[in-house]
Structure 1
Amino acid sequence: MTTDSNPTKFKVFIGLLIVLLFALGAYTYHLFSENQDSKNSITTLETEKKDMEAELEELIANYDVVIESNEFKDKELVAAKERIEVLLADVKNAKLNEGLLKRYRAEIQILKQERVVLFKRADSLARENITLQVQIDSTNVRLTDTYKVVDSMSTRNSMLSETVKMGALVKATNLKSEGVIVRSSGKIVETQRASRADKIRACFTLAPNDIAEAGDKVLYVQVINPENNILGHKANITNGDGLLTYSSTVKVFYEKGALDVCSLIDASEDDLVKGRYVINVFEGTRLLLTNTLELK
């Protein structure tokens, strides 16, 4: 009986040893696969980070060319370039994960859309300037050739020069935005903390313009939070220039003089998060001005 039992025990031992070896092999392969997946994920994030840095550097180079060739030294072009430079620095210094990568992609997309609007406006102003300059030169020639129309040509030349400086479109300046708390009494208190804010307030000034058309003006305020969500109404308007999703509207009567305008933008508690907000003001789908707001 003892002789038969020993071979049996040995066979069982060998069988257990084989099972353990297979289990150890499977576990080793699992660890190796997880390590490879982790390395691949890190490599993908680093590649996308470099791609975003390249996109932002290209955007900055685009702005450098337009700003250099723009005779009016448009402050909004300069401000937009500075925002891109800040985002580029953030991307370079960030330790990326999928969530942060998604946020940066969204911000880059907004900057690209803003570039289209600003560059289109700059190009339009440049063409208008060339046309007006040609008209001024032609006027000067006629003034030299015809003494009888000196006074009328001089008046026209002055009007054209003024048109070059001001343009016929209404412009806006001094955009200021802030988080606010609205008391039950109606009193409005400024706050820099997202957790305390009820709304976002945007105030700006419509610039005086003697040759602009007076009358009712409908202005659209767009507020984009750090998670790329649009606050407020989230309504749309369309025209020949495209589609605009806006947060609030303001209707004013413009009489060609400076006019201060403010708008309170509603926001849900989930939309008021820490970070940088982008505030844009439009007339129709024409961008008038933009700035950013940081809430803690």
Structure 2
Amino acid sequence: MMTEKKNNTALKILIGVLAVALIALTIYTIRFYNEEKENKAILQKEKTAIENELNELIVKYDEAIDENEIMDQNLVDARERINRLLDSVQDYEANLVLITRYRREISNLKAEKERLFRVVDSLSQQNQRMAMTIDSTQTELSEKTRLSDSLQSSNQSLANKVNKASQLKITGLRGEGVIVRNSGKIVENDRTRRIDQIQTCFTITANDLSEAGEKNLYVQVYNPENELVGDKIAVEHDGGVMVYSAQSTVYYENDELDVCILANTDKEKLLEGNYKVYVYNDATLIGTASFSLR
């Protein structure tokens, strides 16, 4: 009886201990579950924060790539590494080991971003300085080109003036019908049925700007029907062929020089009326006049 009583007492104690242990285990299990739940929430929150940081880095790289052409490939490579890390974060469930690794990699990526962006900023500033230098150089070049063009234009204008001033000039130009005697004496006559030739006379003025030497002089004589009177001498010039009534070569020494040029006549073309005379030095017209025959 005594033994049975002791056994009952021991059983009750054991049951009490087990009950206490069960209660403690239940409390521990509930607490562990709650802590695990809280840890998962914290890790998930940390994972979301990491994703947001990675997305912000990607946006900054996109903006930098759009604004800079100097280091596009370096920036693109860095952005691709961030994209791959973001995909890894999204694919795996958050745990303390991964979160720690991701945080370390984000820290490295941020340091790389700062380094790359400093280089990009430095290169951009160099480009801006270079662009300013180029603009200044182009402005200076444009100004020099403008001055050069202006000088060329002035020089050309001066050359044209000098060239014009150096051309032969004549005065006292006149045309007339003449009779040539057997003795060589020339007598002026204005009757068409009597004249033998048409004479053109003029004076080349003194001109120190003209080049001294032989000068080719040509005369055109046109009758009232605008027909060329004379030998019809064809001469090739730079601008083409010109036909003249007569020609003569004189030696000019920059002083006044009297010149007379005779043009043969064709009786059929000697008409009553007004005649026109044109005098040329090579292909340059240097004088014109008119006269009448009856």
- Coarse TM-score class (shorter-chain normalised): 0.3 to 0.5
TM-score, length basis structure 2: 0.45
Larger Rg: 2
